[in-house]
Amino acid sequence: MMRIEHHVCFGGAQEVWQHHSDVLGCDMRIGVYLPPQAKDGPCPVLYWLSGLTCTEQNFITKAGAQRYAAEHGIILVTPDTSPRGDDVADAEGYDIGKGAGFYVNATEAPWSAHYRMYDYVVDELPALIEASFPANDARAISGHSMGGHGALVIALRNPTRYRSVSAFSPIVAPSQVPWGEKAFTTYLGADRDAWALYDATALVSSELNERLPLLIEQGRDDEFLANQLKPELLQLAAEAQGQPITLNLRPGYDHSYYFIASFIGEHIVYHARAMKA
């Protein structure tokens, strides 16, 4: 672990750290906000997964979340969205390759050599955080767009590891939309049964042993709403299975960080209550 940024922020510290990931086979950067309460003892952790084209920087510089994390004593952890490095496979465009890991464990060459973001977020990252920072074992997870997809899938598949989950503008049914179909075909191959493990709507439609309530924030003026996000598919599946879900459709808001910044405070309060319960 090597600290490469440190900024005093709302009585705490916004930092960026670099470490070698054994799971991804490359160096990774993570944003870590330590609230002022972390000076006195362990704090709960909210993991934030960012969307397509993002790094660890987008959330920590645009969302304004540190103010609320400081108020509620929450550590914010923001990993990069994909493996990086000269040896890591990439592709033309923004929706495959670096910056577009989709939080899956790739099975297709050449992606399978490095693109194991699911294992990284579920196992390696929390182990690293809890060993390196004053973090307790209370975890929550959230994210935006591709990261919202990742947060929902990870929480649904690992409900005992997290106290709560939420998402902003998530890709809720990647098996049924162009972004997801392209990514899943590339990373996982043609077997749609393998896709279902990374599809929140498919997971909710299956028999789940435990069910974390889902909190979804969605702008009605989001340019990707109709053809890429389709939150109504998850809502219908959840209601059919008795899965608790709250879908907030916000008039006038789009897909940007202006939207996230407008409601991130409410989400941090939501997670703070769950992690202190």
- The domain ranges of the chain are 2-276
CATH of region 2-276, choose from 3.20.20.140, 3.40.50.1820, 3.50.50.60, 3.30.365.10: 3.40.50.1820
Q: What is the pLDDT of residue 249?
A: 98
* Helix and strand element counts for the chain (H, E): 10, 9
Q: What is the pLDDT of residue 211?
A: 82
- CA separation for the pair 30, 28 (Å, rounded): 7
- CA separation for the pair 5, 2 (Å, rounded): 9
Longest dimension (CA), the chain: 51
Q: Which amino acid is at 85?
A: G
User: Nearest CA to 55 among 121, 101, 107, 110?
Assistant: 101
Pair 10, 64: CB distance under 8 Å:
no
Q: What is the pLDDT of residue 209?
A: 67
Contacts of 132 (CB under 8 A, 6+ apart): 1, 17
Q: According to the 3-state scheme, what is the secondary structure of 143-160?
A: EECHHHHHHHHHHHHCHH
- pTM score of the predicted model: 0.97
Contacts of 272 (CB under 8 A, 6+ apart): 44, 72, 73, 74
What are the angstrom distances between the C-alpha of 244 and each of 85, 116, 144, 180, 277? 40, 29, 20, 24, 18
3-state secondary structure of 258: helix
Q: What is the pLDDT of residue 207?
A: 73
Cα 17 → chain centroid: 18
Give residue-wise pLDDT tens across range 151-189. Answer: 999 999 999 999 999 999 999 999 999 999 999 999 999
Going from the first residue of the chain to its last (277 residues), give the mean pLDDT of each consecutive group of 10, the final group possibly shorter.
98 98 98 98 98 98 98 98 97 96 98 98 98 98 98 97 98 98 98 97 86 96 98 96 96 98 98 93
Question: Known catalytic residues?
Answer: 145, 222, 255
Residue owning tokens 């939309």: 177
- CA separation for the pair 128, 109 (Å, rounded): 28
What are the angstrom distances between the C-alpha of 243 and each of 119, 147, 192, 209? 25, 21, 23, 11
Q: What is the pLDDT of residue 6?
A: 98
Q: Which amino acid is at 172?
A: V
Q: What strands, in cross-sheet order, belong to the sheet with 26-34?
A: 2-9, 12-21, 26-34, 75-79, 43-49, 135-143, 164-168, 214-219, 245-250
